[in-house]
Amino acid sequence: MQNTKKIMVFTCLILFLFFGRAFAAENKYDVVHSNGSVTQEVAPDTAFVSMGVVTRGKTAEEARAANAAVMEEVVSSLGVFGISGDEVKTTGYYLRPEYSDYAKGKRVITGYTLTYNLSVTIDDVDKVGAVIDSMFAAGANTFNGVTFTVSNRKAIERELLALALVNAREKAAAVASAGGRSLGKLVAANIGSLGGMELTESNYDLALMRKADAGETPPPTQIMAGSLKVSAYVDASFELL
């Protein structure tokens, strides 16, 4: 009985090794490795404007109350453009005490500064300049930048990845042909990062802000979205026939 079990185990081991090698031989093939890339210019259709209100007061409550009053006007000014609700988001709210120089070995609080930052989503990039001007006119006094992007991001990613793979296949096919071989199926691929989906501009003409503070009427802000250069990369391996 013991010998019979040993024979069965030995037989199973032999069969496993035989079929395992046969399977490995069947799936063994030469491969060629290639990388593909593609870059396209895409027109942005969405913008995120980041602006804020900074106020100061002798007490924390004074700074808060002044800030709340100005911010209410700033948010209200967005209604002219049909912007409200989820399109307006708080991105920062900071209260910082201000100190005098050391006097008699102690720091003395002389007041408080409150900073309130907003992010505003604009689905018409042609209105970005007008929205910025409206917020400044309503009392906003800090500009943190505008970011342009696309709303159909996933669809663009899929399209560019497919084109990058086509580019990788074309390169691999050229190498295979030069070596007297032909290209078979795709056997492996690594997707690289996609870049260029966003463009941030943080420069705003401070001279225009000073004119507005002085009561002068500055010219309208011109913000040109331009285009985004979106890139996709793929590393791929193909069977050689």
- pTM of the predicted model, to two decimals? 0.72
Residue type, 10: F
Does 48 have pLDDT greater than 60? yes
Reported as a single tens digit per residue, the pLDDT across 198-210 is 666 655 554 455 4
pLDDT tens-digit profile of 100-150? 876 666 788 899 999 999 999 999 999 999 999 999 999 999 999 899 999
94 has a pLDDT exceeding 90? yes
What CATH code is carried by the domain that includes residue 240? 3.30.110.170
**228-240, strands of its sheet edge to edge:** 30-42, 228-240, 183-191
CA 38-42-48 angle, to 5 degrees, is: 125
Q: Which residues pair with 189 in a beta bridge?
A: 236
**DSSP H or E segment with residue 162:** helix 153-178
Domain extent, residue 58, equals: 46-149
Compute the distance between CA of residue 111 and CA of residue 34 in angstroms, rounded to an integer: 63
Contact 42/156 with Cβ under 8 angstroms?
A: yes
> Are residues 179 and 140 located together in one domain of the fold?
no
Q: Which CATH number does the domain housing residue 69 bear? A: 3.30.70.2970
Alpha-carbon distance of 228 to 52, in angstroms, equals 26
Whether residue 63 is contained in a domain is answered as: yes
pLDDT of residue 214: 56
State the pLDDT at residue 195: 74
Q: Note whether 132 and 221 are within 8 A (CB).
A: yes
Whether residue 212 lies inside any domain: the answer is: no
